[in-house]
Amino acid sequence: MRGLRTSFLAALLLALFGCAGGPPPPDWKLNAQGAIERAQDAYLSGQDRVAALEFARARSEIARTGRADLLARAELVRCATRVASLVFEACAGFDALQADAAAPEQAYARYLQGQATAQDAALLPSQHRPLLAPQAAGAAVAAIEGPLSRLVAAGVLMRSNRADPQTIVLAIDAASGQGWRRPLLAWLGVQARRAELAGDTEALARIQRRMQLAGDAPRPAP
């Protein structure tokens, strides 16, 4: 697998596609893996139509197995990408399949909603557990490896109203470093609102120039 996913997202995809050695994987695994990766790339780049088409293709391939638990994992990966981009909505696709999801996936779903409890800690990857502490902030995000997982963690803090300035900077840097337009603009928007509330007109103007540059950049072809 490519290095886009880390930590629990990687574990979810590994459970889906089994990237370890052995016999050649069946076509549905290869097709679904490629479609999910393209869907994530498209969504993070702001290409909604492409993202929807690719995820629908992935669902179709996974559905061939008749396994709702695999579909639930795919939906969870999709929802994590949205949290990374500060799109806070119900994870409807996962919720519809929750009865067939394993306990770690259910705990991670609560984590994405900002509703994980101390009882969920043992079911989460170790690097995400510090995020459950009420005082968790940027330092906990900085300890998380991988740009997407770091963005997801920052999104969880933002969703639960615990994001400090360090969290925002870390999220901006993670999105910028990968060239992910959607989360970059979302997090720059947060930074801009805070600068405006603080009356820092110089910082606000600088952030707005950066947002305009990212928003005007040519989008990659589908």
Q: C-alpha angle with apex 93: 65 to 99, nearest 5 degrees? A: 70
> Using one digit for the tens of pLDDT, what is the confidence trace for 133-150?
888 888 999 999 889 999
Residue 193 lies in a domain: no
Residue 149 lies in a domain: yes
Structurally, the chain folds into a number of domains equal to: 1
The range of the structural domain enclosing residue 123 comes to 7-168
> Using one digit for the tens of pLDDT, what is the confidence trace for 18-54?
544 567 778 888 899 889 989 999 999 999 999 999 9
Residue 41 lies in a domain: yes
| CA dist list (Å): 27 to 60, 143, 171 | 12, 37, 36
Residue 52 lies in a domain: yes
Residue 192 lies in a domain: no
> Using one digit for the tens of pLDDT, what is the confidence trace for 66-89?
999 999 999 999 999 999 999 999
Residue 107 lies in a domain: yes
pTM reported for the whole predicted model: 0.87
